[in-house]
Structure 1
Amino acid sequence: MRLEVEGHGDAVVSLPRGADGKRRVVIATHGNYDRPEWQCEVWRGIVGDSAFILCPRGVPRPDSPAADDIRFTYSSNQELERETDAALAALRERFAGYVDDEAPLYTGFSLGAIMGVSIAARAPSRHRRLVLIEGGHDKWTQETARAFAAGGGERVLFVCSQAYCANDARRAAARLDKAGIATRVVRGPDVGHRYDGPTAAETKKALPWVLESSTR
């Protein structure tokens, strides 16, 4: 379903069926030249009915294929953070009593992963656990790793479907490990730069590690 977000384009929300109490929130950010609907669909298959899936829209790309096939990007990590905060507020208001957004799980593919590192380093108490798919590795400097750890960051899962991604992720994981952050690097089949199919299957298998020992 579409969710109106003040000051931004409508987000897409995938609802957990049969919820009789609060459910966590998974924020699923897309890549460049992508669509939020696609992220919500894939992440529903990954988490089942255990969570709300909130997919920020971003801004339209002028080079979209057609008027009825608009693709989206995010203009900056600061703007994505503002959009995400506004979308969470709208979700809380729309589904009061069912949304547990105290510590949402941030997930990002490609551009969403790249921008997610800066967002998490600025607000680690809100985004303590991350799933970064095919992106974000070079953004983990010693400074961002330390900031994430100092503010309450806990775990980062890297999922890669290409060899260079896995190599870069291992180097980023080493910096995070040194700062005291638990990490895991998952290398799926070499299917190119993608988050669905075999890559989503590998993400689903690793997700319990991301969430274990969490009170959420």
Structure 2
Amino acid sequence: MDDYEKPMVKPVTAAAQVAIIGSGPAGLSCAYFLALLGRSSVIFEAQPIPGGMLTLGIPEFRLPKETLQKEIDFILSHGIELRTGTRIDNAQELLKKDFKAVFVATGTQTGKPIDIEGIQLDGVVDAMGFLRDRALGKGLNCEGKKVVIFGGGNAAVDAARSAVRLGAEKVTILYRRTRQEMPAYEEEIEEALGEGIELVTLAIPKRINGKKNSAA
């Protein structure tokens, strides 16, 4: 980041203001390149911090927050306004105000639902929600608990490794196919195994057992 040279930015034209919904990679990139063209923009972000999945979906042990924040600060330094904690439900309303255009960059921050018995029990969350809550300093307490992850993608592996760092007693990943078929990066799988995470392949969960709305 220290080696970056700020590109020449044209004078901002307030009359061509653009509203950007979402401060993830797409939203930040849009605002940055608009600034290079001399177009002002305002980024609206529903979460309290910017970055989208870079901030909320990728744990710090994979993407250091300091590095990411430098990138975000560099982009915002081009005269871009950021409004966090601001949810936009109707993009058309922005066009009725001072904006000439709206760029929707909300992305996809939800996990894939699975339809099995017990999925609604307390203590059962999707990996993306788990990672997002951890990034925001809230969520499940894993201290001294046994954690089971369904899935073999990067989000599943990230969730498993995060649970280890949150003090889980034992972490197990269940995947329905072979290890070779896991979509997660091989180096991430190796690191997870090196951290003591158990990988069980060719396993499909049928139900989640629990009592009084709590997963066992």
Higher helix residue share:
1
- Give the structure-2-normalised TM-score: 0.31
- Give the structure-1-normalised TM-score: 0.31
Bigger radius of gyration: 2
